């Protein structure tokens, strides 16, 4: 069940934002999408999930996916998780009967939901409203929800942005394990290049809407590329696990 994207193009407000992006992810692969602010990472992820109109081809299981099918098999976790959520209008009206709906949740599903909350340390918060938990806790909750959906493809926009050091690892380890266990494909937009490199099977570097490089982290993260794409002088060393460590020195 490989994800293939060919010549994806997205225009917003009359401007080309994503330009002829092609990529491929094998089942179980965790890919990291990197690139400077405004490179087009969120736009690419939203277009892949069917939330933005795009041109080009997106296929999974060798079948081309239209917009509706993408929304079915691809889960997207946005960058800015406010106290609101991405519920549809229909889901919102159904929630008006939440109490009676709640009674009809099968026992095994309720147990699985509890386990999913517990996995991210959220079990004790289950009675709270979304505006009464912290930004990081909301990020954990929506990640738990995205995994609970069991999608074929999981798109995460800066999933660790609001999280402390430990929870960054909890989240990336959980996604890594989910991909390995279920063959799910995950693509995460990330700004922390060292953290991304630690978990990436593949890195995809976006610059001004174009894919500038893709492949193993050690091939994508080079001193020259960080200079060219990010305008940053950096040192790169290899960790004991053979993963690149990026030490940014100065903006050039
Ligand atoms: N609705 C819109 N209309 C016009 N331009 C837009 C719109 N949304 C985003 N853009 C522009 O598209 C470009 C890419 O934005 P996008 O949010 O995809 O970048 P990004 O790589 O995710 O950035 P960041 O790392 O800052 O989150 C930016 O120049 C942005 O200003």
ipTM field:
0.97
Nearest ligand 1 atom to the CA of 189 is 22
Judge if the beta carbon of residue 244 lies within 6 A of ligand 1: no
Tokens at 210, concatenated: 């174009």
- Give the residue, by CA position, lying nearest to ligand 1 atom 27: 37
pLDDT of residue 158: 94
Report the pLDDT averaged over residues 150-165: 92
Q: Poorest-confidence range of 16-25, 92-101, 111-120?
A: 92-101
Tokens at 26, concatenated: 């094998």
Which of 32, 35, 40 to probe ligand 1 with, by most ligand atoms within 8 A of CB? 40
The alpha-carbon radius of gyration of the chain (Å, integer) is: 19
Judge if the beta carbon of residue 188 lies within 6 A of ligand 1: no
- Give the residue, by CA position, lying nearest to ligand 1 atom 16: 40
pLDDT of residue 182: 93
pLDDT of residue 66: 75
Confidence of residue 105 (pLDDT cuts 50, 70, 90): confident
- Give the residue, by CA position, lying nearest to ligand 1 atom 5: 12
Q: Is the pLDDT of residue 87 over 80?
A: no
Distance from residue 204's CA to the centre of ligand 1 (Å): 17
Position with higher pLDDT, 11 vs 101: 11
pLDDT of residue 1: 82
Query: Is the separation of the CB atoms in 233 and 250 below 8 Å?
Result: yes
| Residue closest to 39 by CA, chosen among 220, 221, 190 | 190
Name the CATH architecture for the domain at 3-251: 3-Layer(aba) Sandwich (3.40)
Position with higher pLDDT, 237 vs 78: 237
Nearest ligand 1 atom to the CA of 209 is 14
């Amino acid at each position: 069940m490989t994800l293939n994207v060919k010549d994806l193009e997205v225009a917003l407000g009359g401007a080309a934002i994503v330009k002829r992006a092609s990529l491929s992810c094998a089942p179980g692969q965790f890919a990291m999408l990197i690139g400077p602010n405004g490179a087009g990472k969120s736009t690419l992820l939203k277009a892949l999930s069917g939330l933005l109109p795009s041109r080009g081809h997106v296929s999974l299981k060798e079948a081309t996916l239209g917009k509706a099918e993408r929304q079915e098999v691809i889960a997207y976790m946005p960058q800015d998780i406010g106290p609101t959520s991405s519920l549809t209008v229909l889901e919102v009206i159904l929630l008006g009967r939440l109490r009676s709906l709640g009674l009809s949740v099968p026992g095994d599903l309720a147990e699985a939901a509890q386990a999913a909350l517990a996995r991210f340390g959220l079990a004790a918060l289950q009675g709270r409203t979304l505006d009464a938990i912290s930004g990081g806790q909301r990020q954990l909750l929506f990640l738990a929800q995205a995994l609970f959906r069991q999608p074929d493809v999981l798109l995460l926009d800066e999933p660790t942005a609001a999280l402390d050091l430990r929870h960054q690892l909890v989240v990336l380890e959980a996604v890594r394990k989910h991909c390995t266990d279920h063959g799910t494909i995950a693509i995460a937009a990330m700004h922390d290049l060292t953290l991304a490199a630690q978990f990436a099977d593949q890195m995809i570097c976006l610059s001004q809407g174009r894919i500038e490089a893709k492949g193993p982290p050690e091939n994508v993260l080079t001193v020259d590329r960080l200079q060219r794409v990010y305008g940053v002088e950096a040192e790169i060393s290899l960790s004991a696990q053979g993963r690149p460590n990026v030490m940014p020195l100065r903006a050039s």
